[in-house]
Amino acid sequence: MRYSKTIAPAGKDGPLLSVLSMSVFFVGASEFMLTAMLNPLAEAFGAGSARVTWLISSYAFAYAIAAPVFGHLSDRLDRRRLLLVALLLSALDGLGIAFAPTFEIAVALRIFGGLASAVIVPNAFALIAEAIPRQRHASAMGAVMLGMTAGIATGPALAGLLTQWIGWRAPFMLTSAGCLAAFIVGGIAIPARRVPGSPAPVRAMRWLREPLIVRPLLAKGLWNGTGVAAFLLSGEVLRLRYGLDVAHVGLSAAAFGIGLAVGNLSAGMLRRLGSGEARALVITTTLLIASVAAFYLMPLPLPAALVCLAAWGAALGAGAPLSTAVLASRSDRDKGAVLAAAETLNNVSILSFVPLAAPLLAVGTGQLAAGVLLIGLGAGAALTVRDALRSDR
């Protein structure tokens, strides 16, 4: 049985975008807030500083592995119901970690939380593609992605303050309450849809044989994942080059977060400027390569380095929703699987390029580290240009 989409008229999609933005906000906050809490968590669970990082890596690993599986299932099940169940489970997960009796149970719950997040993010963007007209995809996805940007940017700060004022359990209680609120509001705001009939098994993964999907999928995994990896190492560059302490490195990195937000909000404008997402992505990847290369390779004064970080963030902030819109529009009934695969490829690139570049940076060979990162960015940009040329035919 084929399904009918519920199309939101212009001006009527605010509640949907708000609840989806709220959902991904708490995913971003949950993933990144532990960076400010590692020492208190180590003390609370009696774990060493190295061991406690399993609370971060277990979440990320579960997310990366599970995303394609849940994405495939979401295309065959009720996407709305699946998202709501994942939000409810995320709320229970946060509550469970807050009162976990042992470190091992806390790690297991973080794995559980990663599985829930692997459902929430790709399904949020797939729901946009199904409920909102095609010409508004880029701007709508940018608006929702702004929620994740806000979660990533404010999660560590909120967690640090709440941990200092109340205790380490408070940030988990906050994310639990937020996911519960998103679950309640989502039940009202997310439009219902009829479940599509299951495709024949031989066609279930047909998108893997479609160059128009695989090419931008690989491109995004390379330039987005490498761009994030380069940012994760940028703090060490700031420390070594300008002699900044930890607090000032954190404040300097705020320029990147501001750029991300500006990029999220500019996605729709860039789509119109570039006459479509594929061409607009050529603009964003060019800006990304230029800003990363300048930051790593040029002897810039600190203000200029911060401008590079902001431009770099803007390129990623605009490029992510643009590429998501491209993938969603080309994947037909496989939106969940394709968008989930994009999440996994992003994480694979991060997990590949950080270990390659970090040792080079640590021994003072920053140019070699930049070369490794620019190889990944260049490969992604080349695929992006090729895709733009092919899509014009």
Mean pLDDT, the chain, rounded, equals 83
pLDDT by residue (tens digit) across 155-193?
777 887 888 888 899 999 999 999 999 999 999 888 776
Segments in 38-197 forming alpha helices (H): 38-45, 54-74, 79-98, 103-131, 137-165, 169-189
| Ranges 19-23, 53-57, 340-344, 388-392, most confident | 19-23
CATH class of 14-193: mainly alpha
pLDDT of residue 247: 60
Average pLDDT in the 61-88 region? 84
Q: What is the C-alpha R_g of the chain?
A: 20
Burial status of residue 107 (CB atoms within 10 A of its CB: 0-12, 13-18, 19 or more): buried
Stretch 139-162: mean pLDDT? 82
pLDDT of residue 9: 43
Q: Which residue has the higher pLDDT, 29 or 206?
A: 29
Give the list of residues 6+ apart from residue 7 with CB closer than 8 angstroms, or none: 131, 132, 133
Evaluate whether 5 touches 131 at the Cβ level (below 8 Å). yes
Is the pTM higher than 0.85? The answer reads: no
Cα separation values, 335 from 72, 181, 259, Å: 8, 26, 28
Look at residue 246 in the predicted model and tell me its pLDDT. Answer: 55
| 288: pLDDT strictly greater than 90 | yes
Same fold: 14-193 with 206-391? yes
Q: Is the pLDDT of residue 99 over 80?
A: yes
pLDDT digits (tens, 9 = 90+) for 235-281: 778 878 888 775 676 667 778 888 888 998 888 888 888 778 888 99
Q: Nearest CA to 335 among 188, 130, 161, 153?
A: 130
- CA pair distance 327, 335, nearest whole angstrom: 8
* Res 393 pLDDT > 60: no
pLDDT at 35: 67
8 A C-beta contact, residue 128 and residue 328:
yes
Among 374, 381, 235, 230, smallest CA distance to 319 is for 381
Mean pLDDT to the nearest integer, 142-154? 82
Structure tokens at 144: 């929702």
Question: What would the mean pLDDT of 141-148 be, rounded to a whole number?
Answer: 84
Lowest mean pLDDT among 142-156, 275-289, 305-319: 142-156
Tokens of 70: 């849940």
Where do the structural domains in the chain lie, given as residue ranges? 14-193, 206-391
Q: Among 53-57, 68-72, 374-378, name the most confident range.
A: 374-378
Query: Which one is predicted more confidently, 180 or 149?
Result: 180
State the pLDDT at residue 8: 43
The answer on pLDDT for 378 being more than 60 is yes
Terminal C-alpha separation, the chain: 33
The architecture in CATH of the region 206-391 reads Up-down Bundle (1.20)
Query: Distances in Å between the alpha carbon of 347 and those of 118, 157, 214?
Result: 12, 23, 17
